[in-house]
């Protein structure tokens, strides 16, 4: 199974921007296709096809999964699927602009839920990005004009609930991605897609499922299924492993910007002031949520986690440490000590003079006096020189004479020549 590597914020930001672009490209195509297909049928078909696509690419991705992966995959799929079904049902009683803004409120709900549930501290830059994203979404949706349809309070509440479910989906996916080797991104995505397809299918099966009638509609459905759903959800699962939940919500909230760009490029829609202002606000929000900001968001918590793990590992190793037996035997008898009083004539005892180290060695003044005599006796003739005697009992002057003779012979030298 695929394991997400260490956090790489730039890669995560690129993947999440791809998710935003892939989901944003679905809106103009769905707007054209829902005139020929019911919304519930379209949602069920695209998510089932997306799950089958990923399963065909890796047929063995669901084998040998731990039980927790299945549980979390179903929970994530239920959260997103209920949100999709509720949003689709409420869309019949709610203008599309109001529905889009209500769904976009998830960018504000995400940091609030993170603060309440996980006590996550969100930096002020991220809060500023959240406000800019919400303002840009308002410009893209509400200020571009709201239809004269009557707004249902119940439908608005259902849509806001769907936005809260999307925020919970983002937070739960971010928490699961921190498990390292226990996070199976590909398998988790496949389980989610099939779960969402089954939930939306239960809503669509009430009056029968309608399939696309022509090749153009099948091409649009293929794009919605493979690019928007399969690749989009897969990129989101991997991207959120590198970017925290709140910045990822900001990056993914840039869908209106991609929708406007696709509408202008592909459908020749005119550029208005709402696109320019809303696009500028959304661009500012994305700049505030760039990797340089997001990388520092969880640094303090990761550092505390590392300290906690290091302390726990040290305690575990200390308990497993093998204490070797001390091979030093202290029961052996002490070394004999010969007292000075053991000698009948203390003055003649060898250890009293120079033979035994520590037993009557000359004082520092005596050593200085002997050194002075040796230096002076170097230039004295006769017996005066021999007042300085080495430990071998030989006269220093004789040794110096032998060393002088050794310069011309092969005898070892005792002193260096000047």
Per residue in 174-212, pLDDT tens?
889 887 667 889 999 999 999 999 988 887 888 788 889
Look at residue 181 in the predicted model and tell me its pLDDT.
Answer: 67
Q: Is the pLDDT of residue 84 over 50?
A: yes
Look at residue 140 in the predicted model and tell me its pLDDT.
Answer: 73
User: CB neighbours of 321 closer than 8 A, spacing ≥ 6?
Assistant: none
DSSP string, 249-317: HHHHTTHHHHHHHHHHHHH-PPP-HHHHHHHHHHHHHHHHTSHHHHTTTTHHHHHHHHHHHHHHHHHHH
Rounded CA-CA distance 9/14 in Å is 9
Mean pLDDT (whole number) for 310-323? 70
Rounded CA-CA distance 11/131 in Å is 24
Coil, strand, or helix at residue 184? strand
pLDDT over 70, % of the chain: 66
Sign for the CA dihedral angle at 133, 135, 140, 141 comes to positive
Sign for the CA dihedral angle at 72, 76, 81, 87 comes to positive
Are the C-beta atoms of 285 and 130 separated by less than 8 Å? Answer: yes
Rounded CA-CA distance 24/37 in Å is 19
DSSP string, 219-251: HHHHIIIIIIIIIHHHHHHHHTTTS-HHHHHHH
Token pair of 381 as six digits: 């003739």
Rounded CA-CA distance 233/26 in Å is 13
Look at residue 74 in the predicted model and tell me its pLDDT.
Answer: 95
Look at residue 410 in the predicted model and tell me its pLDDT.
Answer: 44
Mean pLDDT (whole number) for 23-43? 82
Query: Averaging pLDDT over each range in 14-23, 227-236, 397-406, which range is the top one?
Result: 227-236
Name the pLDDT band for 325 (thresholds 50, 70, 90). Answer: low
Look at residue 57 in the predicted model and tell me its pLDDT.
Answer: 94
In 3D space, the residue among 299, 184, 200, 282 whose CA is nearest the CA of residue 241 turns out to be 184
Beta-bridged to residue 3, according to DSSP, are 184
Q: Is the pLDDT of residue 260 over 90?
A: no
Q: Is the pLDDT of residue 296 over 60?
A: no
Q: Is the pLDDT of residue 133 over 60?
A: yes
Look at residue 187 in the predicted model and tell me its pLDDT.
Answer: 94
Mean pLDDT (whole number) for 356-378? 61
**Lowest mean pLDDT: which of 70-74, 321-325, 334-338?**
334-338
Q: Is the pLDDT of residue 147 over 70?
A: no
Q: Is the pLDDT of residue 241 over 70?
A: yes
Name the pLDDT band for 280 (thresholds 50, 70, 90). Answer: confident
Rounded CA-CA distance 291/242 in Å is 9
What letter would DSSP give residue 382?
Answer: G
Look at residue 183 in the predicted model and tell me its pLDDT.
Answer: 84
Mean pLDDT (whole number) for 53-82? 93
Q: Is the pLDDT of residue 324 over 60?
A: no
In 3D space, the residue among 177, 178, 106 whose CA is nearest the CA of residue 137 turns out to be 106
Domain boundaries of the chain, sorted by first residue: 9-298, 340-405
Are the C-beta atoms of 97 and 253 separated by less than 8 Å? Answer: no
Rounded CA-CA distance 158/102 in Å is 10
Mean pLDDT (whole number) for 40-56? 92
Q: Between 342 and 62, where is the model more confident?
A: 62
Look at residue 334 in the predicted model and tell me its pLDDT.
Answer: 55
Rounded CA-CA distance 78/269 in Å is 36
pLDDT over 90, % of the chain: 20
């Amino acid at each position: 199974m695929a394991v997400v590597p260490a956090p790489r914020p730039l890669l995560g930001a690129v993947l999440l921007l791809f998710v935003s672009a892939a989901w944003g490209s679905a809106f103009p195509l769905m707007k054209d296709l829902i005139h020929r297909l019911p919304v519930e049928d379209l949602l069920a078909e695209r998510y089932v096809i997306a799950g089958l696509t990923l399963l065909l690419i890796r047929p063995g991705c669901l084998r040998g999964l731990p039980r927790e992966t299945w549980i979390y995959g179903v929970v994530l799929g239920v959260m997103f699927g209920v949100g999709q079904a509720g949003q689709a049902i409420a869309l019949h009683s709610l203008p599309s602009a109001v529905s889009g803004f209500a769904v976009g409120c998830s960018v504000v709900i995400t940091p609030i839920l993170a603060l309440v549930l996980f006590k996550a501290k969100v930096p002020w830059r991220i809060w500023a990005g959240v406000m800019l994203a919400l303002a840009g979404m308002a410009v893209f949706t509400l200020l571009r004009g709201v239809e004269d349809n009557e707004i249902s309070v119940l439908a608005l509440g259902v849509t806001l609930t769907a936005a809260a479910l999307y925020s919970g989906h983002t937070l739960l996916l971010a928490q699961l991605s921190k498990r390292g080797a226990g996070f199976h991104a590909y398998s988790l995505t496949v389980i989610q897609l099939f779960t969402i397809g089954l939930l939306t299918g239960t809503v669509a099966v009430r009056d029968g499922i309608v399939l696309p009638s022509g090749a153009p509609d099948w091409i649009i459905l293929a794009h919605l299924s493979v690019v928007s759903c399969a690749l989009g959800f897969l990129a989101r699962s991997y991207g959120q492993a590198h970017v925290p939940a709140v910045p990822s919500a900001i990056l993914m909230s840039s869908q209106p910007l991609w929708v406007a760009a696709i509408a202008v490029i592909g459908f020749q829609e005119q550029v208005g002031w709402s696109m320019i202002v809303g696009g500028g606000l959304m661009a500012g929000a994305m700049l505030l949520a760039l990797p340089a900001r997001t990388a520092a968001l969880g640094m303090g918590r990761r550092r505390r986690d590392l300290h906690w793990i290091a302390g726990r590992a040290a305690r575990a190793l200390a308990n497993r440490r093998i204490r070797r037996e001390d091979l030093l035997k202290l029961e052996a008898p002490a070394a004999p000590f010969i007292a000075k009083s053991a000698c009948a004539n203390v003055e003649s005892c060898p250890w009293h003079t120079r033979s035994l180290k520590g037993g009557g060695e000359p004082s520092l003044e005596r050593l200085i006096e002997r050194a002075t005599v040796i230096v002076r006796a170097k230039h004295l003739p006769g017996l005066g020189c021999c007042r300085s005697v080495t430990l071998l009992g030989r006269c220093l002057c004789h040794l110096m004479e032998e060393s002088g003779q050794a310069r011309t012979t092969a005898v070892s030298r005792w002193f260096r020549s000047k």
